[in-house]
Structure 1
Amino acid sequence: MSTEVGLPYSPELTVDEANAEAFARLDGADPWVVDVRPAREVLPGYRDNLVLTSGAPMAWADYTGGQREALIGGALFEGLARDRADAIDGFATGRIEIGACHDYSAVGSLAGIYTASMPVFVVENRAHGNVGFCNFYEGKEPRRLNYGCYDEGVHERLLHVNSVLAPVVGEALRRRGGVALKPLIARALRMGDEVHSRNAAASILFNREILPAVLDMVDDKVPGVRETMLHLAENDYFFLRLSMAAAKASADAMVVPGSTLVSAMAFSCRGFAIKLAGLGDTWFEGPPPIHEGKLFAGHTEDEITWMGGESPITETIGLGGFAQACALSLQEYQGGSPEVMIERNREMYAVTHGENSTYRIPLFGFRGTPTGIDARKVLETGVLPVMDVGLAGRDGGQIGAGVIRAPRECFADALAEFDRRFPGR
């Protein structure tokens, strides 16, 4: 299934030339986080009655399980509905609108819920002039809105993000003049992160970057500074939303007519989907991803459910599972062994266009991470892209972590459409 979009085509470029250009634009991206603002103020075309969620666009009736519950929770949090029944009626009648995060230059973790008042990181790609966004991490409590949960505790934590944490971080970024994310991520890889399922080093490095501004804010008696810094200090996953926004701003610059490189990967409650850099905003959908992982104590395999997720934008630009050999400590969190993680990472070189010039893997002699998934190579080799993810439970909340692989069908459909649009290429 795909969503059509028109895209001009330059007949001078061969597929290999288009891929080289798309890769160069991705590899040359320069993402800077410059601000934190409410979604209504910065996301293009945002409307107050709009709730964004992860994955390819769908009708309200197609959303099920935790992703449907997260949408309802978002509507209640934003005050768009009086109660659950009113929220359901609002979505069914169109009084409350649903949008896909990617259509608004944004990405969302798991269900990826955005509402008008929610703060988002603003990341500028200074090499190409485009902007990417990601919303805030809710905290380490397993019951979170992006995991399909909404109750009084979730509501209070979201309000705390809106009223305390986001204003402080935004003010620090503005005083700092922004923070360059690419060198920070490169250093975090050397310190044991892959900036998808492990962000401990990157979170510490980010805190250090904003510290001078934070100290000035303490002197200026800005409210909430101590509370915010303590929150950042105890939440290793805080940086994931920054790596996602950096990846989105980087990948959106890849659009080159005639390229077969993947520019986005995401999933919803219905299945997995990809975009190709040469086919613009067209999504190609397949079944849910193949998974293996480690569950938290007290949970079983039959509880695992899919409720969306766009954090694989990190793998799209050569991070996450494509830098898994940087983060061997993940075996304790998501299962597996060092040997398996290393072999998975090496596999990804077979399906990518090149090696990243900035993101490097010490264990591989500082070889660049495999970057720029080529749909042609996925079909030729049979090697499916690997991603590090959190696992959601059918009753809401995170119940484990693991590794998924994209389904082959997405790539087959994408290349079939590519051949139709560009015959003989």
Structure 2
Amino acid sequence: MTIDSQAFALDLPADVEERRRAANAETLSRLTAAEPVLVDVAPAGDVVPGMTPSTILTSGAPLEWHEYTGGQRRAVLYAAVYEGLAADLAGAEQAIESGRVQVRSTQQHACIGSVAGIYTASMPVLVVRDETHGNTAFCNLYEGESRHRLNYGSYGEEVVTGLRWLEEVMGPLLAECLRRTGPIRLKPLMARALRLGDELHSRNTAATLLLTRELTPAFLDLESTEHAAAARAVFEFLSRNEYAFLRLGMAAAKATADAAHGIPYSSVLTGMALNCREFGIRVSGLEDEWFRGAHPRLEGRFFDGFTEADAEWIGGESCVTETIGLGGFAQACAPTLQAYQGGTSEAMRANNEAMYAITVGEHPDFRLPPLDFRGSPVGIDVFKVLETGVVPVIDGGLAGKDGGQIGAGVLRPDLDCFTDAADAYRRRYVTG
């Protein structure tokens, strides 16, 4: 999509533009210097700031409870039942409306959520610390290969069994592994996965294998302990679930983006997120305001038996990977995604190359072999988006109205939220 770029000329005073460029350079430095490290796996209630036994987190810019609809609302209600905060959906509604259960955005708690992005206090989370800047981010664990998952708005015996297994087996086992191996540095692993065919959003095959290799010495060490059965079960889970690393990549991206947030005069994005009502962006120099617009346009492939009429927006924050130069911004690395989300290798390369026009730099560590090892485009600039009319390319999955994943593809947001962010920038730094 292109627009008349003259309509969106910067038109900033020279002193503001000078400060903006310096701030964007600092933002880029923070985005590329971050060193995300997996340090622990623990129940959300034990480690997530502000999390209480009666708190439920969900994806996207914050909404009031009455604004949540469809699958995202349903997933929150199911979470209350799962956590034992209500006996049934009607009881969950009453508990939330009375204030006995609080529903908040993952973004308000340094968390990041896949699709509906449901967190309850008992759920295990990956704890990722940026060693360069000292901040920490959290992401919950991948539920498994079934298309019926709580984060896709599904609930039932299969979903509950899977969640309990994560809580009772996988989470504690991973924590035990880290006690034995020490923290796992994620950026070198992610950089290598790009060279092995991942883009680290919709394809995480190589990254999951590399993670499994990192954990294997601990698995072997645990074979002679009381953890042996759990170690074998977790190894088997990782072996058959190629998406398992995505949650680590999301936590790493969240920690990285948060480290680059709050730089005055910066016009670089440090967050993109979906909820059931809208797409939103966060800008480093505009504090914690979310600029909201229409849901992205879908260019995707539906799984057998489903059509566009079956799709529903129920949230999602895995597009945080795009804010740090991955996902659609490294799409050329993963031509095998054609079988999953459609498209052609030529189109994927063109999508990737177009992102250099809207970013402030190239990543020194995330290098793209199909583009002659050029650094991935990183640091989405609100004003460059508006000047060029080029919008971010986001890889993503599609949820169905009746729960479950029904397809995948490329998401392209509209310009409305970028326009609002640019207007807010001018009000703050020009007309203030």
Contact 1:124-1:131 at 8 Å conserved across structures: yes
Contact 1:264-1:276 at 8 Å conserved across structures: yes
Superposition deviation, residue 174 in structure 1: 2.2
The number of equivalent residue pairs is 416
Trace 1:25-424 onto structure 2 (pairs within 5 A). 25-222=30-227, 223-255=229-261, 256-423=263-430
Partner letter of residue 342 of structure 2? G
Contact 2:219-2:232 at 8 Å conserved across structures: no
Q: In structure 2, how many angstroms separate the alpha carbons of the residues matched to 1:12 and 1:138?
A: 46
Superposition deviation, residue 218 in structure 1: 1.3
Deviations along 1:294-342, whole A, 9 cap, x unmatched? 0110111111110000000000100000000000100110000111111
- Helix, strand or coil for the counterpart of 2:206? helix
Superposition deviation, residue 221 in structure 1: 3.1
Superposition deviation, residue 11 in structure 1: 8.5
- Helix, strand or coil for the counterpart of 2:430? coil
Unmatched runs of 5 consecutive residues or more in structure 1? 1-9
Deviations along 1:15-64, whole A, 9 cap, x unmatched? 00000001101110000001100001110111110000000111111011
Partner letter of residue 243 of structure 1? G
Aligned to 1:19: 24
Deviates more, 1:212-221 or 1:371-380: 212-221
Aligned to 1:3: none
Superposition deviation, residue 106 in structure 1: 0.6
- Helix, strand or coil for the counterpart of 1:369? strand
Percent of aligned positions that are identical = 52
Change (3 A) 1:12 1:337: closer
Q: In structure 2, how many angstroms separate the alpha carbons of the residues matched to 1:302 and 1:379?
A: 31
- Helix, strand or coil for the counterpart of 2:128? strand
Contact 1:13-1:258 at 8 Å conserved across structures: no
- Helix, strand or coil for the counterpart of 1:245? helix
Partner letter of residue 357 of structure 1? P
- Helix, strand or coil for the counterpart of 2:243? helix
Deviates more, 1:405-414 or 1:236-245: 405-414
Partner letter of residue 81 of structure 2? L
Contact 2:391-2:415 at 8 Å conserved across structures: yes
Superposition deviation, residue 290 in structure 1: 1.1
Q: In structure 2, how many angstroms separate the alpha carbons of the residues matched to 1:11 and 1:410?
A: 22
Partner letter of residue 17 of structure 1? A
Q: In structure 2, how many angstroms separate the alpha carbons of the residues matched to 1:212 and 1:102?
A: 35
Superposition deviation, residue 220 in structure 1: 2.3
Deviations along 1:120-157, whole A, 9 cap, x unmatched? 00001000000011000000100000000111111111
Deviations along 1:359-399, whole A, 9 cap, x unmatched? 01001110000000000000000001011001001111000
Unmatched runs of 5 consecutive residues or more in structure 2? 1-14
Deviations along 1:269-295, whole A, 9 cap, x unmatched? 001000001112110000111111001
- Helix, strand or coil for the counterpart of 2:348? helix
Partner letter of residue 95 of structure 2? G
Superposition deviation, residue 424 in structure 1: 6.2
Deviates more, 1:173-182 or 1:260-269: 173-182
Superposition deviation, residue 213 in structure 1: 1.4
Partner letter of residue 266 of structure 1? A
Aligned to 2:11: none
Aligned to 2:10: none
Contact 1:189-1:359 at 8 Å conserved across structures: yes
Contact 2:16-2:430 at 8 Å conserved across structures: no
Report the RMSD for the aligned CA atoms in angstroms: 1.3
Q: In structure 2, how many angstroms separate the alpha carbons of the residues matched to 1:17 and 1:302?
A: 46
Partner letter of residue 101 of structure 1? T
